[in-house]
Structure 1
Amino acid sequence: MLAQRTTLFKSSGTAAASDAAKAVAASGKEIIDLTAGEIWSHTAPSVREGAIAAINSDINRYTDTLGLMELRHALAQKISTETAQSWSADEIAVTTGAKQALFNAAMILVNPGDEVLIPDPYWTTFPAQIVIAGGAPVFIETRHSHFVPRLADVAAAVTRKTKAIVINTPNNPTGAVYDRDTLADMAQLAIDRELWIIFDECYGTFAHAPHVHHPILTLAPRARERTLIVNSFSKSLALTGWRIGYLAGPKAVISAVKALQSHTTSNPNVIAQHALLHHLESGDSSFQLQLQRHVGDARALGLSILAALRSVPQPAAQGGFYFYLDLSEMQRRAKINGRELNADNVVSALLMDAGVATVSGTAFGDRAGVRLSYGIDLESLDKGLRRLTATLNTWN
């Protein structure tokens, strides 16, 4: 018999979408995969150099559980620059990707029965990890406010059981970038109601002009004692497979994380740590800027194609590298004609009819959305979005 907790969560919806695409492709059908939460890119030269140097130096031993002290110092310096506050190495935990940083946060902060507020649509792992920790996710609807939570809605959801709020900007899956006032107001609410803030800024380097990403502590320095910053290099340096991220927060939290991590993964991959350290010490931002330009070009191309959609509004795509399609109007028209239409139906039809793999909004708590990644090469993106647009337009 399996543990009861295994009934509380399912495999990632994004992983399931990718698996479905691979299964259809295995049958011989050409599939353009827009499911992956990653950018298709070669490795940054500075990262590659650091990894090769570490291997050639026969580095293969454990590091401190929380990561190399030199790397934690470098990350502390990075966060100090970004937040305009001074950070130290003992406020930093290096983790096996941002997903472990989030898991650590959930396990350290959440008691059984605690509630955690999560804007909806949400990245599928947020509520799953809260449930694993014994907590209860409480979702805040954002569709009516362009996928940015309204302070009144967040405040109305707070109860005596509320322990924390998850803030993810630029947002996955919607691409929404939270503005200064929203972030400052949510931070003040957390201070007033004594809530923790779990601030996930993994897509922070991909805010598309005129939108700007604001680290929350630059707007609300007083919230520092109750804020955990989660970030990784999976997106900013296209290092998804390297599994290297970090958690920054109060020393007491990081100390508890060290104890927890010592019984889970221990230290993150030592070669990835040295590779990242070399990159941070080199000060070379050229690759990251190149990646940003590629994503910007992909976004512009995609928006120009999706502008031809008739029953689906052009997505805002303010940040990250996702287009999030709002199917509400298409669903309304289908209902008038006596038919039910949900995101799962649309995703299945796009896969089989257009040969385009996408992710259903049901993975993100939304039956009226579809997520498309534009982190792939421009030629495939052009072909896939034209197929998708033509297919959806025939449904009129």
Structure 2
Amino acid sequence: MFIFIPIQQRKGFRLSYDVFLKLYLFWMLTCAIRGAFIASDYWQYKALIQNSFALTAGLCVWSFAQPEILNKVLRYWLLLALPLFIPLLFILYKGSSYGFYLSPVVIFILMLPALPRPLALLMLCLTVFCLFADIGARSTLIRFSVPLLLLVTYPLRQFIPKSLLKVAFLFCFITPILLAAFAATNGLNPFTAVSQAIAEEIDDAETRDVVTTDTRTGLYEEVVESAIKNDYVLIGRTPARGYDSKDFGIGISKIIGTTTIERSSCEVGILNIFTWTGVIGVVLYTLVFATASYLAVVHSNSWMTRTIGLYLAFRWTYSWIEEFNRFDIMQLSLWMLVAICMSPAFRAMSDADLKEWGAKLSPRIKWNR
């Protein structure tokens, strides 16, 4: 369905500087086609289909970038999906599952000043719920805390220079690259350093263990070693294949009965992009997010759109720590943010215009008489 949505865009509608997005999607499709020739069993074909859908979710950007379409999508989510969250509370896995299901709430929080008061209060309540439902769900805490921090800047927007936003933008995109370079050349492990710093501030031993456990160093080591060993650093192993993993792959191979010790994906988004599409894919993915974020931060008339650009930069940074690459509501919510940033229509809106757009978000049920 989403493959054909871009064709249905409004006549005359165009994205801004979408060349990198087109190149990224072209490379993702190329890797998927390569994967169709490489896959050799049921599990590899299954991985190919699942991972290819996740990689090409960016096709939705052309539709989501149109304010009227995104408004309709979010309105239907409020009307149909959100009420289902109450019965699902009894079967969803505590903590992280809440954050996954309620991913669109982040978009509403970033646009909170533009929402009608009842809807704004509901979004705040859902955010607080996600923050305190499970302290061990670290990613949920981070993903929902950062929008709240950005929201605090709205009343202070007259006193914050645009140059400071540019510095924050550059910080988000430069920091992971520098840390990765230091780790590769000097053996500096940023995950260990951060864990130790946080541990010193937490008194409770059980909470300290949950929050500060380093679960990423081993993933980076296995993914990079697998790429070098199997010679797919530049172009990737395609979405049909994963990385060689002693920690997980051996157990997975025993369960599904394969001879390989591969894990088709991991919790770190940028590592999945690297495994499936290589350095080329990582560079194109970065250029898409950097372009979208820059357009929103520097070339937007609304402060809310600028903070969405900053949050998008943060999400790219956070993909070096955790970002599941699956075709699900969280992934689509992320591409909604990309669409808002790349949309000339959204960036042309003032805060007053966004309030008019936000007023239409409250779902209305029309009964046939």
Taking CA–CA contacts closer than 8 Å with sequence separation of 6 or more, which of the two structures ends up with the larger relative contact order? 2
Q: What range is the shorter-chain TM-score in?
A: 0.3 to 0.5
Which is richer in strand?
Answer: 1
| TM-score under structure 1 length normalisation | 0.32
